[in-house]
Amino acid sequence: MIIVHGTATATEGNLGELLDASRAHVARSLTEPGCISHEVTQGVDDPNRLVFIERWQDMDALEAHFTVPASAEFGATVARLTAGAFTLEMFEAEELAGP
């Protein structure tokens, strides 16, 4: 499983548009093959900061996600609304059994 953790901090006056674009991106991503979950939340300490947590079946599914034109459009929107204040980290993970 691939876990993606991202953050995006909206510049002044852009939070509403960033939230709308993020919600649409999450809804669309959830329909893609291999998307296990995809969430966006607002930061507790900074409401202009959005946090994305995604789980993908494998790297092939995530790479296919990145080739979808709407994903590239979302990336461009995030770059515009955050003035580059965004991060993206990817992790390969294995779910562990609980106690």
Q: How many CA atoms lie within 13 A of 11 on its CB side?
A: 9
Could you report the per-residue pLDDT of 76-89, keeping only the tens digit for each? 999 999 977 789 99
Pick from 85, 73, 21, 79: nearest CA to 49:
85
Instruction: Report residue 90 as tokens.
Output: 């990817």
**Are the C-beta atoms of residues 30 and 46 closer than 8 Å to each other?**
no
Q: Where are the domains of the chain?
A: 2-86
Could you report the per-residue pLDDT of 1-55, keeping only the tens digit for each? 999 999 999 999 999 999 999 999 999 999 999 999 999 999 999 999 999 999 9
Q: What is the pTM of this model?
A: 0.90
Instruction: Report residue 68 as tokens.
Output: 């979808």
CATH class of the domain at 2-86: alpha beta
Q: Which residues, 6 or more positions from 88, have their beta carbon under 8 angstroms from its beta carbon?
A: 4, 5, 6
